[in-house]
Amino acid sequence: MRTFLLGIILCFTLDIQIFASGDPWPVGGRASGIANTAVTLTDGWSLFNNPAGLAGSKQLHVLFAFDSRFGIAGLQSVGAGVAMPLKQATVGISVQKLGDALYSEQMAGIAFSHKISHVQLGIKANYVQVHVGDLGTKGALAMEFGGIATITPQLFFGAHVYNFNQAKLASYQDERIPTVMKTGLSYRPITRLMLNLEAQKDTDFPATVNAGIEYQIVSQFYLRTGIATKPGIQHFGVGVHKKKFHFDYALRTHPTLGLSHHLSVALTFDRKTQATKASNL
């Protein structure tokens, strides 16, 4: 407990965003490796980072992620989800948990995403539950909405707002789940290279600007790096994507608190292939 309390004190003293009180926390090793500049990505992990991105994927995704922050047990988080394309849209279900017996957050959500011409739109409803020791548990419904637009074949714009309904956790001091707004650009001059720039504003923290790079060295191996401001946190990551199995790892280095690790695994299945096999039986 002493280690956990020390970590909390350090985090607030140094003005570090630790995603408490219902804040969304990034999920997926790919996003973490590029400094969480994920607002324009279109993969299964969009279920957690921007539901609009789900419409860009035509596969069934089964997802699991684990994040260890600064080696403090009370700041570890896990996330799991399933995203499935339908005829006219993509739907997803997710669950997340952060913390321990002293302080914890749980979140369960359902997302819906649709693509119209060059624009992808997504909405998600999350039930957020916060538990604080002997003080009890509070819960609220937080809504999020996002969009991704293809400006040119190489340039993409994304925007996302979490808790646009400004859900309230408790009447005492009007305690609300923070509203988080993100917007960003992604430039992909060649197939193997992606350059991302993103700005984020949390109602409880100063605005940040993040930048990330992903480079595909060979067909199945990716290298990633990025930097986040306030404070300056460096991100590094690798990814191995082999057919249906995707493994991603990210390392974050904080100038004072040290290292954080993020692992994620995804299984993907081609829905059309599965349907064809079923019809041939």
Pairwise CA distance, residues 155 & 145, whole Å: 21
For the chain, what is the domain count? 1
Condensed to tens digits (0 to 9), the pLDDT of residues 207-243 reads: 899 999 999 999 899 999 999 887 788 999 999 998 8
CATH number at residue 50: 2.40.160.60
How many CA atoms, within 13 angstroms, populate the side-chain half-sphere of residue 215?
A: 6
Is the confidence at residue 250, as pLDDT, over 50? yes
Q: For residue 113, give the nearest of 59, 45, 55, 63 by alpha carbon.
A: 55
Planar angle of CA 62, 67, 71, nearest 5 degrees: 160
Pairwise CA distance, residues 36 & 210, whole Å: 8
Average pLDDT over residues 93-105: 88
The range of the structural domain enclosing residue 169 comes to 2-280
Question: Percentage of residues in the chain with pLDDT exceeding 70?
Answer: 86
Q: Are 44 and 56 in contact (CB under 8 A)?
A: no
Query: Tokens in use for 124?
Result: 């998600």
- pTM as predicted: 0.84
Is the confidence at residue 6, as pLDDT, over 50? no
- How confident is the model at residue 136, as a pLDDT? 80
Q: For residue 237, give the nearest of 225, 254, 229 by alpha carbon.
A: 225
Question: Percentage of residues in the chain with pLDDT exceeding 90?
Answer: 59
Q: Are 12 and 110 in contact (CB under 8 A)?
A: no
- How confident is the model at residue 87, as a pLDDT? 84
Planar angle of CA 32, 145, 153, nearest 5 degrees: 65
Pairwise CA distance, residues 254 & 236, whole Å: 12
Strand intervals (E) in the chain: 59-69, 77-85, 90-99, 103-116, 119-132, 136-152, 155-162, 168-170, 175-176, 180-187, 193-202, 208-218, 221-228, 233-242, 245-254, 258-270
Condensed to tens digits (0 to 9), the pLDDT of residues 137-178 reads: 888 899 999 999 999 999 999 999 999 998 887 766 667 888
